[in-house]
Chains A and B, each alone.
Chain A
Amino acid sequence: MSLLLRLLVLISMALAAPAALAQERERIVFSVISTEQTEAVEALWMPFVQAMEEETGLDVELVSAIDYAGVIEAMRFGQVDVGWFSNLSGLQAIRLADAEVFAKTLYPGGQEGYRSVILVRNDSPLQTLDDLLVCDGSLSFALGDPNSTSGTLVPLAYIFAPRGIDPQSCFAQVTNANHEQTALAVANGFVDAGTNNTTNLDRLAQTRPEALAGMRILWSSPLIQTDPIIWRRDLPEEIKSEIFSFFLTYGFRGDAEQRTREQAVLETLFLGGFLPATDEHLLPIRRLELMRDLAETQASEALEEGERAARLEQIELALRELAVEERRVAVRELAADMTEARTRLATDEAGASADITRLVAEFLAAQPRIEVERRIRRATTGEITRGLLGLGAGLTLFAVMMIRSRPPRFGPSRLLSDRLIDAAIWSGLFGLLIWSFWPAEMFKFPLLGTNAPRMGEYIAGFFQLDLDGWEVYARQTLITVQIALWGTVVAVIAAIPFGLMASRNIAPVWIVQPVRRLMDAFRAINELVVAAIFVAAVGLGPFAGVMALALHTTGVLAKLFSEAVEAIDDGPVEGVRATGAGPMNEVVWGVIPQVIPLWASYALYRFESNTRAATILGLIGAGGIGQVLIQNIRSFEYGKTATILLIIIAAVTAVDLISQMLRKRLV
């Protein structure tokens, strides 16, 4: 046992050593957000990254993740240096990660922005925005990722907030997904309408023209600025200069041949180059964000009135501050436009003077309103009613049980304390169930029967296997198994001491209790949160995932291990103790041989479930089959999802067979 442990430590040290030696050139990490499969995104970006390496003399590592939060965390802790962000995530990066905007992207035609749109199917009865906003709970609506500008923020700020509508209460169902998934959901009729943006529609025209042809645009927003390119403020100036000149010249430098080549690369990335920018680029998005906060604050049912008023006041203050900055930019632009118009007076007198009047009028009209509408909402009473109902049900059962267990005329009677405890346990559980009935929506149970055909329809979709790309899925599954393997092994190594320390028959209570609470915490904290913590130290990627799995699994295994230890037979321990052996040997010879079979089963079982749990790790860019699976489910690719599921089932079966063999050897 201990030989194995030492071997594992040695192996992991040997594996880590070369990585530590390799860092000679200055290295920067460049992050891009992928709305598609990570592998494809990385292939697209490779020529650009190589050019960046040649031009700047830096080692550039490309990371791509499907979620913004991980990248922002990574940037905050110096694990990402430069990144292509969306406007909103860029704003968060600037706030949280001490970053700044230094450039912005252009679209292939050179446009500086895009529009947010709402899509419906061609055959949809919805013709106007008002048709969509009937708010009778009959329609379903797909918003974008909660942090997405065009998918979520713009629609909230321009449609919902001004009308005081909360999408959650307006629609029967509101889903969140990325742009491609939302588009496909609308095209396939899974939702009545969904948000999107013009850039993504251009892309869709190439990747899925048939899906695009089946939809029309119900509403489109004012122009939204392009995406910002952001770096960490504390990058050395010379590195900043290198990166700055690379981005701004790329696609427009060297001879005609080089320009053509670089423009081709930009085209595959749906870009038309980059322009310089500052944090002012994000002013419009700050407005959008404040409008969203305003809408949420007004719509939230969880807030007390006092708190609501306080928050509204804060938002009003923020809007005022924002207005000052906006005015500064607007005035600068107005000055430039006026100068330009006045120089035109010589050549085009009528047009120029009309322009001057118009410019001033537009400037004045665009000055934002700041007053915030304050609405009153009623507090909900449902919660209290349900609590009372649960309490009532519990007390009733308590009374019934006490009466039924009263001393009988014949036969032995039970102790009063036993009767009380029994009745309290069962009636408490019953009351809890009643109380939880509505929050858990258990009243929907009959739907399982009435809507069974729909489930059948859904499942039928899986029977059309789409075997394209199964090699990719198999490789990703292998990565997942590898992540799960290391995550589990690290957890087992940690769970042995923790498990022993959490066992009442081994350790004193002042060790057992703290260790148990620590293990509770390990189990309770979501793997994604743990992963984000590790991202701060080790950057985005599988290792953060391994550690997140390991921490969670340590919490689970230590608990199971300690329960096994508490159930041992004391005999062998006494047998060893009676020879004069020390505490270490009592554990190694008296305890461990007894629990090894159970420990091995638990560890192997956790390995199996970690293979499945590793799915969540895609969100922090850890790769593996989970990421691919989530994307395919979200884009309603039944055939591909089915193929992936088959591969996962095969992998889990293989893991199970190997586990059984191992257990036979160990027991």
Chain B
Amino acid sequence: MAELHSALSIDRVTKTYGAATALSSASLVVKPGEMVALIGASGSGKSTLLRLASGLVLADPGSGAIRLFGEKVQENGRLSARVRRARARVGFIFQQFNLVTRASLYANAMLGSLGQIAPWRGVTGSFPNDVRKRAMDALERVGVADHAGKRAANLSGGQQQRGAIARALVQQARAIFADEPIASLDPVSARRVMRLLAELNAQDGMTVVVTLHQVDYALKYCRRAVALKAGQIIYDGPISGLTRERLIEIYGDEYRDVMDESVRA
């Protein structure tokens, strides 16, 4: 039944911050199993788009509905009553990891179950045994099981980000939204995280929507690209469609010099 729904559907959504327009009447549909790169210059609205999709940010009144796997997140600037059910289906990865830094990596992974278990279990920290097992399996899978007992604050950025992915796995999410997941990481950690996302997409059929600054990562790992400029979607198509001219259109004239310099180097 759920397979009939899009993983993400956004219908004419606008978001303004005071006088500044972050997103203007944008519509987007992502099908289950896709791996989509959201690209665009800083302030183009790609992070806003992703945060709107999880209901972390409210759209302006008058905006259409946002749904995750058919479950409504928000509509007309108001959160749906079932937003938590919708959020539980999607794991969210943040640039700054957003782990509970004073808790262990293991506890952080278990937090992925908070949308599914009884509230009192979460509040008292009495997680069921299957969640505990899933947490260890997930940490094993992302390769940080050795650090399970350490406080998140004491780990490197790459390790924390993989912990965040483990949290999404414990959540048994059917999609991962990653907002600049590698912007704070060194190149090796960045590659690991991107490979992990690609692997989850390929092997587990997980839908992945990832905002990226680095166009080369998008070209390498994603099949579809959605480009934003000044709050509007100006390209939505195969990744191969990101030609030199199109990229210059997306990032502005100076991007020509950026590309020329990298060619020379």
Name the residue of chain A whose CB is nearest to the CB of B89: A580
Report if A581-B96 is in contact (Cβ < 8 Å); known contacts: A588-B122, A589-B103, A593-B101. no
Q: Are A584 and B122 in contact (CB under 8 A)?
A: yes
Residues 413-447 of A, flagged 1 when their CB comes within 8 A of B and 0 if not, give: 00000000000000000000000000000000000
CA–CA, A241 and B247, complex, Å? 103
Q: Are B119 and A575 in contact (CB under 8 A)?
A: no
Would you list 20 pairs from A and B whose C-beta atoms are within 8 A, ordered by A residue? A3-B124, A571-B96, A572-B98, A574-B92, A575-B94, A575-B99, A575-B100, A575-B164, A576-B111, A579-B91, A579-B111, A579-B112, A579-B114, A579-B115, A581-B84, A581-B114, A585-B114, A589-B114, A593-B102, A593-B103
- Closest CB-CB distance, A589 to chain B, in whole Å? 6
Residues of A within 8 A of B116 (CB): 580
Query: Which residues of B from 160 to 189 have beta carbons under 8 Å from A?
Result: 164, 167, 171
Taking the complex as formed, is A125 at the interface, i.e. its CB lies under 8 A from any CB of chain B? no
Q: Are B87 and A572 in contact (CB under 8 A)?
A: no
Report if A580-B102 is in contact (Cβ < 8 Å); known contacts: A2-B123, A585-B122. no
Query: Which residues of A from 532 to 585 have beta carbons under 8 Å from B?
Result: 571-572, 574-582, 584-585
Q: Which of A577, A578, A593 has the largest number of chain B CB atoms within 10 A?
A: A578
Q: Are A589 and B100 in contact (CB under 8 A)?
A: yes
Q: Are B123 and A585 in contact (CB under 8 A)?
A: yes
Name the residue of chain B whose CB is nearest to the CB of A667: B102
Taking the complex as formed, is A596 at the interface, i.e. its CB lies under 8 A from any CB of chain B? yes
Residues 117-148 of A, flagged 1 when their CB comes within 8 A of B and 0 if not, give: 00000000000000000000000000000000
- Closest CB-CB distance, A599 to chain B, in whole Å? 12
CA–CA, A229 and B96, complex, Å? 74
Report if A579-B167 is in contact (Cβ < 8 Å); known contacts: A572-B100, A585-B114, A585-B122. yes
Residues of B within 8 A of A593 (CB): 100-103
CA–CA, A576 and B97, complex, Å? 11
CA–CA, A206 and B97, complex, Å? 78
Q: Are B87 and A578 in contact (CB under 8 A)?
A: yes
Q: Are B96 and A588 in contact (CB under 8 A)?
A: no
Taking the complex as formed, is B132 at the interface, i.e. its CB lies under 8 A from any CB of chain A? no
Residues of B within 8 A of A582 (CB): 84, 114, 119, 122
Q: Which of B101, B113, B122 contacts A572 (CB 8 A)?
A: B101
Taking the complex as formed, is A594 at the interface, i.e. its CB lies under 8 A from any CB of chain B? yes
Taking the complex as formed, is A590 at the interface, i.e. its CB lies under 8 A from any CB of chain B? yes
Query: Which residues of B from 43 to 60 have beta carbons under 8 Å from A?
Result: 54, 56
- Closest CB-CB distance, B10 to chain A, in whole Å? 17
CA–CA, A577 and B100, complex, Å? 12
Taking the complex as formed, is B150 at the interface, i.e. its CB lies under 8 A from any CB of chain A? no
Taking the complex as formed, is B78 at the interface, i.e. its CB lies under 8 A from any CB of chain A? no
Name the residue of chain B whose CB is nearest to the CB of A591: B100
Q: Which of A571, A588, A590 contacts B123 (CB 8 A)?
A: A588
What 4 A-B pairs have minimum CB-CB distances, sorted nearest first? A580-B115, A580-B88, A575-B98, A581-B114
Q: Are A575 and B92 in contact (CB under 8 A)?
A: yes
- Closest CB-CB distance, A222 to chain B, in whole Å? 72
Q: Are B98 and A589 in contact (CB under 8 A)?
A: no
Main DSSP-derived SS at the A contact region = helix
- Closest CB-CB distance, B84 to chain A, in whole Å? 4
- Closest CB-CB distance, B109 to chain A, in whole Å? 11
Query: Which residues of B from 79 to 95 have beta carbons under 8 Å from A?
Result: 84-92, 94
Q: Which of B94, B102, B122 contacts A596 (CB 8 A)?
A: B102
Name the residue of chain A whose CB is nearest to the CB of B57: A574
Q: Are B122 and A589 in contact (CB under 8 A)?
A: yes
Given A575-B99, A581-B84, A582-B119, 14 more contacts at CB 8 Å?
A: A2-B124, A571-B98, A578-B56, A578-B90, A578-B91, A579-B111, A579-B112, A580-B85, A582-B84, A584-B122, A585-B114, A585-B122, A593-B103, A594-B101
Q: Are A579 and B171 in contact (CB under 8 A)?
A: yes
- Closest CB-CB distance, A591 to chain B, in whole Å? 10
Q: Are A574 and B56 in contact (CB under 8 A)?
A: yes
Q: Are A579 and B124 in contact (CB under 8 A)?
A: no
Name the residue of chain B whose CB is nearest to the CB of A582: B119
Q: Are A584 and B119 in contact (CB under 8 A)?
A: yes
Q: Are B84 and A580 in contact (CB under 8 A)?
A: yes
Q: Are A578 and B114 in contact (CB under 8 A)?
A: no
Q: Are B98 and A581 in contact (CB under 8 A)?
A: no
Q: Are A576 and B100 in contact (CB under 8 A)?
A: yes
CA–CA, A596 and B151, complex, Å? 15
Query: Which residues of A from 34 to 62 have beta carbons under 8 Å from B?
Result: none
- Closest CB-CB distance, A7 to chain B, in whole Å? 13
Report if A584-B123 is in contact (Cβ < 8 Å); known contacts: A576-B100, A596-B102. yes
Q: Are A578 and B119 in contact (CB under 8 A)?
A: no
- Closest CB-CB distance, A38 to chain B, in whole Å? 45
Residues of B within 8 A of A580 (CB): 84-89, 114-116, 171
Q: Which of B122, B124, B167 has the largest number of chain A CB atoms within 10 A?
A: B122
- Closest CB-CB distance, B259 to chain A, in whole Å? 34
Query: Which residues of A from 1 to 42 have beta carbons under 8 Å from B?
Result: 2-3
Q: Which of B92, B96, B101, B124 contacts A578 (CB 8 A)?
A: B92
Name the residue of chain A whose CB is nearest to the CB of B102: A593
CA–CA, A72 and B167, complex, Å? 63
Q: Which of A572, A585, A588, A596 contacts B99 (CB 8 A)?
A: A572
CA–CA, A582 and B103, complex, Å? 19
- Closest CB-CB distance, A508 to chain B, in whole Å? 14
Q: Which of B97, B102, B167 contacts A594 (CB 8 A)?
A: B102
- Closest CB-CB distance, B63 to chain A, in whole Å? 20
CA–CA, A589 and B119, complex, Å? 12
Query: Which residues of A from 584 to 628 have beta carbons under 8 Å from B?
Result: 584-585, 588-590, 593-594, 596
Name the residue of chain B whose CB is nearest to the CB of A590: B100
